[in-house]
Structure 1
Amino acid sequence: MNHLPMPPTIQRLMRSLSPNVRRAWNHRVDRMRLAPRIIFDYELLYVERGELTIRVENETFLAEPGDILLFKPGLEHEFVMSRGECWMPHIHFDVLDYADYEAVPIHFKRRSECSEEELAWLRPDILGSALGWPNVIRIPNHAEVFHTLMQIIHAYERRDPDYPLLQKSLVLRILYLILKGLRAADNAHLTMHQRAMERAVTYIMEHYNATIPLETLSKMAVLSVFHFSRLFKQTFGVSPHRFQIRYRMEKAKELMMFHHHLSLSTIAEKVGYSNVHSFSKAFKQAEGMSPRQFLKTHTSPT
């Protein structure tokens, strides 16, 4: 996976996610076989107990407890065989909000057996094509995904009046946990230094108005300056310096919006700039407008 900051199009896509759960089961069987088929939506299955031999298109996998299977729209898959009692909590869901989400069936046909009307139900594969998620997901935080998946299943079984909001929030949490888990699995060194990175970013936030040498942060993390800078950017998407500037700008906007009595010179000093010119230059570079333009746009006249 690519862990550089996500392109704006992907960020917009992620903000547009509005999942709907079509079906949710805590499925337990003595053995599992399923003939080749395609589905129109996503199916996310957690292997809680047993072993499953799965084929997705031309690839065959052995899925074991702790594995997460993501069956994607339009990809032919089958359960070839199983070993031992199989516990497989799973959900069928859309990641975007479609008006016909309740009308789309859970399918057991091959693509060649589908009518044109049925094929029109196929959803775009956002998680696979846009985010690059694999068919078999092996992540260190799989237990958190399992816990949230069981919450979805229990909520689906009850379906009280607040269910639509709850199921969306829980599926989004699963997607977030998987994203974090894939990053951790792909970058074991990030997991190893996670606490050090959290200490460093907390220190920056608590001392955002001070000049913080990289040497100070790297010593806190017990890393060389080079390795600290690289790990920080991989973890937070920006360099320590850019993170501090971004945080300073957020604090400056807060002061401008809610403390109208403060002058720009005072605000500049409070967020760590020696003069209003340096602050204005940094603010415009970060926000695309001057502080005075921000004030005109985001504050009401007194």
Structure 2
Amino acid sequence: MDKRDIMYPFRYIMIRISTMDNSKSSMCGSEKTSRRSGLSMPGYEEVTPCLEWLRPYVRQCGNSPRGNWKMERRRLLDFLLVYIEKGSGQFTVGPNGYDASAGDLFWIPPDTEHSMEGTGGVMVCPYIHFDLIYRYPESHWEFSIPSGVNNLDDYTPMAHPAIPESLFSRIPGRSRLYNHRQIGSLINTVCREAAVAHEAHTMALSGLMMQICTEILRGLNGKNETENERYIAVMEAASSFVQNNLAEELTVRDLAENANLSEAYFRRLFAAQYGLSPGRYIRQLRIARVKDLMTYTDNSLSEISLLCGFADVHSLSKAFKKAEGVSPREYRKFGRNLVFTSGREKAYPG
């Protein structure tokens, strides 16, 4: 036995975070190579320095369905993130034009000319206006910038400051990521949390934005290293089936059979793709759907329990209290907060 195993019996379960070598990295600008795979991956040298300045703040968000709609070319003072959940359209970000379809993620930095148009009927595209660097009081301006406005010279003091050269300054206008569903779910969670306004919701929204940024960076790094690429579409199909059938009885065995996989193999693949077991994924989606229905509709708890796959109100209440720490009725009592979820109260002052 190696004598080091005697002296340090726990060395195989320790996680070591090394100090930064500033001579080799600057504000998330270098790369680290994974010893396990040999792939170029964002590591401590890239990501950790961002914590010196990364302080996300949600300014405005929304996820209401839209008919055919159009936003002429304009520029913004903050960042805009748009996820295409359903529908299609045409987007431009800077000089680049894109066909927008379900699963696309659009990242629009401040002072970047862009346009957006939904052309395929009903479009669901949850969005977030946000700052990556929170500043007081600049981050609290309350007006919208309408379609067609490109000259923001008079409002330079309110503009988002330039961010250091980093992974975030290299995010493309449009991304099609293997983990887009996780990102879309987080964006919808931001919209829901903004509408419900739990205590200390601004901190919760900031934390959710950190998660979204993390998932975007992971997605841009490539396919999930732990998963065979050919099964990603299979897991996506399973996820879609779950989301579209939450009112029905769902079992892992049935999902595995639909995917033509053994139950054990399906569990392993699903966990590799989504970071949690299929059973827990189903429970989280059901609770999220309950929150949506309590936030955006006047449906009774009896109706909501049936729509979300619970046998009765008692089953729903028990599961909800376990997941959220409050009863559904208590959750519904929370008022709306100051984050605008449909539009600014003040018009653009120009």
Whichever structure has more strand as a proportion of its residues is 1
2:215 aligned with 1:177: yes
What is the total number of aligned residue pairs between the two structures? 190
2:83 aligned with 1:46: yes
Q: Partner letter of residue 148 of structure 1?
A: L
Q: Distance in 2 between matches of 1:149 and 1:81?
A: 19
Correspondence for 2:121 among 68, 72, 84: 84
Contact kept in structure 2, 1:184 and 1:190, CA below 8 Å: no
Aligned to 2:156: 119
2:185 aligned with 1:147: yes
Could you say which structure has the greater relative contact order, defined with CA pairs below 8 angstroms and 6 or more residues apart?
2
Question: Per-residue CA shift, 1:187-223, capped at 9, x if unaligned?
Answer: x766439xxxxxxxxxxxxxxxxxxxxxxxxxxxxxx
Contact kept in structure 1, 2:87 and 2:118, CA below 8 Å: no
The residue correspondences of 1:155-166 to structure 2 (distance < 5 A) are 155-166=193-204
TM value normalised by structure 1? 0.56
Question: Per-residue CA shift, 1:130-155, capped at 9, x if unaligned?
Answer: 53111111111111111111111011
Correspondence for 1:11 among 27, 48, 53: 48
* Larger CA Rg, structure 1 vs 2: 1
Task: Describe the SS at the equivalent of 1:62.
Answer: strand
Aligned to 1:57: 94
Percent identical across equivalent pairs?
20
Correspondence for 1:26 among 63, 72, 75: 63
Distance 1:127 1:82, change over 3 A: farther
Deviation at 1:125, TM superposition (A): 5.2
Aligned to 1:192: 228
Q: Moved runs in structure 1, 4+ residues, more than 4 A? A: 4-10, 109-112, 127-130, 188-191
Whichever structure has more helix as a proportion of its residues is 1
Contact kept in structure 1, 2:74 and 2:149, CA below 8 Å: yes
Deviation at 1:69, TM superposition (A): 0.9
Deviation at 1:4, TM superposition (A): 4.6
Question: Per-residue CA shift, 1:210-267, capped at 9, x if unaligned?
Answer: xxxxxxxxxxxxxxxxxxxxxxxxxxxxxxxxxxxxxxxxxxxxxxxxxxxxxxxxxx
Q: Partner letter of residue 39 of structure 1?
A: L
Distance 1:13 1:109, change over 3 A: same
Worse-superposed segment, 3-12 or 91-100 = 3-12
Deviation at 1:168, TM superposition (A): 1.1
Contact kept in structure 2, 1:76 and 1:110, CA below 8 Å: no
Distance 1:139 1:120, change over 3 A: same
Aligned to 2:176: 138
Contact kept in structure 1, 2:167 and 2:217, CA below 8 Å: no
Contact kept in structure 2, 1:127 and 1:133, CA below 8 Å: no
Question: Per-residue CA shift, 1:146-192, capped at 9, x if unaligned?
Answer: 1111111011012232202211111111111111111124xx76643
Deviation at 1:111, TM superposition (A): 6.5
Contact kept in structure 2, 1:22 and 1:102, CA below 8 Å: yes
Q: Distance in 2 between matches of 1:171 and 1:138?
A: 19
